[in-house]
Amino acid sequence: MRDQFLTDKSIVWTIAGSDSGGGAGIQADLLTFADFGCHGCSAITANTAQNTLEVTALNAVPLAVLNSQLQALQRDLFPAAIKIGMLANSEQVLLVADFLRRLKALQSVPIIYDPVAIATNGANLTEGDITTEVLTQLLPQCDLVTPNLHELIWLTKIRAKDAASIISAARQLHSMGGAAVLVTGGHSQLGPNEVSDLFWDGEKVDWFIGRQVPGNNSHGTGCSLSSAIAACRALGYPVRDACVVGKAYVQRGLRLGANQHIGTGNGPVGHCGWPLELIDFPEVLIPGDARAQHYGLGAQISEQPLVSGFAAMDSQALGLYPVVDTVGWLQRLAEQGVRTLQLRIKNPGEDLREQVQQAVAIGRSYKLRLFINDYWQLAIECGAYGVHLGQEDLQVADLSAIRSAGLKLGISTHGFYELLLAYRYRPSYLAIGAIYATDTKDMSEQLQGAEKLARMAALLPQYPLVAIGGINLQRAPEVIAANVGSIAVVSAITRAKDYKRAIVEFNALLGDKCAEAESC
């Protein structure tokens, strides 16, 4: 017998109602899973009778019928993630909650609950009130719950309408069982032509701001969003990445499906494959954003307004980019013709300033694109070419001073969410890591892989992008194929048997991506 955990495609379940009209419910969920390359399984809770205009019957399935589907799936098709949609009555909620409790005792599984209870046209989608069972039994089993505004009000009894009250209600919902909350923005227009989703995981509030798409083909957006998030979780994406990619998927479906004619009412949202265009991705609201106050983030307003638009690189292709910890290494690599380099000193001594000064001098004499990691004040003072900062530095570094001094700025990112966040600053380049496991730094929670790298790189085809983390000569070809213009390496150079040869081989793989630097 084959191992049920070894599957060629990630398995995702939907526990939800069938929509006879094919626009929402199980039908939308399975189309979504397929778009993400996952194998979808279903446990049907109800056979709703509906079309694009109305819901005429609920037709809840008996508990034994629901249970038999869940048991059959568990025996052979163990899930990598589960999406839960419409549950038709309290008994079904209790059965599913109990089933999930047992399943999770076997192995942890991300569970995403889209709390469907009322159709957009106002039709009730449950037999009786399921609120207590949802709040006390089901929510504690879930990792993420994705209510729209009506569902948020239903579950919290808070009459949320503006950003601040949506945040309060989301905090309350999170406190009832610990699931992260994504409040979808389709029913609450908080900014002109904006559809903004609020994310709260108990640690950090985020707003994902999307653009409104004109048209009525929005049936199934909630189902498709939660399914897309479940698929991304099954593929190993962290929850914020899953949310922004899920939102982009739905945005793409709204955009490309806007002019389709299916039925005479609200047609289904499109199912149009992986979102690979930046236009579909939300903006991440960042501290210092002029809209922060409006979005209820008064307390998070940064002392410095958003600073964006840093000095442009001379080329999109920065080529081989060794990251080293001594001036000696900079000199040796510059002599070998390397033109993009970083000085990354993690245990500075008293001679730090001298080292930065020497590095800047070497950079000038060899016309290097030389970035100083972390020490942005020293970099400014010494007249460096550029500075490289991590995500956590963005709140403390004086970005305005870096920009005014004309320094180039590189920013580290780890996944879609951080990429979108860092892109708001329009830095000189964006680094994406860690592509593979590395001994140089503990990045074990933030590994991207070459496939995800390619999907991220597709969003910014004209932007200088740098891949970093665990890249060596063997892995470089698939990294370069992901369409980044540069590969940053530490150990592949500093621990190479023959670093000169390694440079030649990397450059051969990079081909025309090892452009000469401008004079600096």
Ligand X SMILES: Cc1nc(C(=O)O)sc1CCOP(=O)(O)O
Ligand Y SMILES: Cc1ncc(COP(=O)(O)OP(=O)(O)O)c(N)n1
Question: Contact residues for Mg ion (CB under 5 A)?
Answer: 373-374, 390
**Cβ contact 467:484 at 8 Å:** yes
Residue 12: how many CB atoms within 10 A of its CB? 31
438 has binding-site annotation: yes
242 binds ligand Y (CB under 6 A): no
- 238 near 415, Cβ under 8 Å? yes
Alpha helices in 36-162 (DSSP H): 63-76, 90-106, 131-133, 149-156
440 binds ligand X (CB under 6 A): yes
Give the separation between CA 470 and CA 338, rounded to whole angstroms: 19
Residues 412-431 close enough to bind ligand X by CB under 6 A: 412, 414
Site for ligand Y in 471-490 (CB under 6 A): 488
| Amino acid letter, 124 | N
61 contacts which partner out of ligand Y, Mg ion, ligand X, none, CB within 5 to 8 A by kind?
none
Are the beta carbons of 273 and 245 closer than 8 angstroms?
no
Looking at the Cβ atoms of 295 and 321, the one nearer to ligand Y is 321
**Residue 491 known to bind ligand:** yes
Per-residue binder mask for ligand Y (CB under 6 A), 396-435, x = binder:
--------------x-x------------------x-x--
Give dist(CA 277, CA 462) in Å, integer: 12
Which range binds ligand Y by CB under 6 A, 204-212, 250-258, 386-394, 504-512? 386-394
User: Can you tell me the distance from the alpha carbon of 487 to that of 158, in angstroms, rounded to the nearest whole number?
Assistant: 50
Task: Give the CB-nearest residue to ligand Y.
Answer: 390
- What number of residues does the chain have? 520
The answer to whether 188 and 149 are in contact (CB under 8 A) is yes
Query: Which one of residues 213, 323, 419, 459 is an interface residue with ligand Y (CB under 6 A)?
Result: 323
Cα separation, 107 vs 449, in Å, equals 24
Query: Which of ligand X, ligand Y, Mg ion, none does residue 82 bind (CB under 5 to 8 Å by kind)?
Result: none
Residue in 104, 161, 364, 441 binding ligand X, rule: CB under 6 A? 441
388 lies in the binding site for ligand Y (CB under 6 A): yes
Rg (CA), the chain: 25
Residues 463-502 binding ligand X (CB under 6 A) are: 468-471, 489-492
Q: Find which of ligand Y, Mg ion, ligand X, none residue 466 binds, CB within 5 to 8 Å per kind.
A: ligand Y
Q: Of Mg ion, ligand Y, ligand X, none, which one sits near residue 490, judging by CB under 5 to 8 A according to partner kind?
A: ligand X
Classify residue 440 by burial, with Cβ atoms within 10 Å: 0-12, 13-18, 19+: middle
The neighbour count for residue 408, using CB atoms within 10 Å, is 24
Among 433, 450, 457, 476, binds ligand X (CB under 6 A): 433
Q: What is the DSSP letter of 306?
A: -
Q: 39-50 and 11-19: which strand pairing?
A: parallel
Question: Does 439 show up as a binding residue in the annotation?
Answer: yes
Residue 440 marked in a binding site:
yes
Contact pattern for ligand Y over residues 339 through 378, marking x by CB under 6 A: ---x-x----------------------------xx----
As measured in angstroms, the least distance from the Cβ of 391 to ligand Y is 7
* Element housing 230 (H / E): helix 221-234
Residue 393 labeled ligand binder = yes
Are 23 and 52 contacting, i.e. CB atoms less than 8 angstroms apart?
A: yes
**By C-alpha distance, which of 305, 290, 313 is closest to 398?**
305
Query: Residues 6 or more apart from 375 whose CB is under 8 A from it?
Result: 345, 348, 352, 356, 387
DSSP-based three-state secondary structure for 318: coil
The answer to the question of whether 55 is labelled as a binding residue is: no
Residue, CB closest to ligand X = 433
Select the span of 52-60, 63-71, 304-312, 384-392 touching ligand Y (CB under 6 A): 384-392
- Name the binder of 115 from ligand Y, ligand X, Mg ion, none, CB < 5-8 A by kind: none
265 makes contact with ligand Y (CB under 6 A): no
Binding site for ligand X (CB under 6 A): 412, 414, 433-434, 438, 440-441, 443, 468-471, 489-492
Residues in contact with ligand Y by CB under 6 A are 321, 323, 342, 344, 373-374, 388-390, 410, 412, 431, 433, 441, 466, 468, 488
Residues annotated in the binding site, as ranges? Answer: 342-346, 373-374, 393, 412, 438-441, 470, 490-491
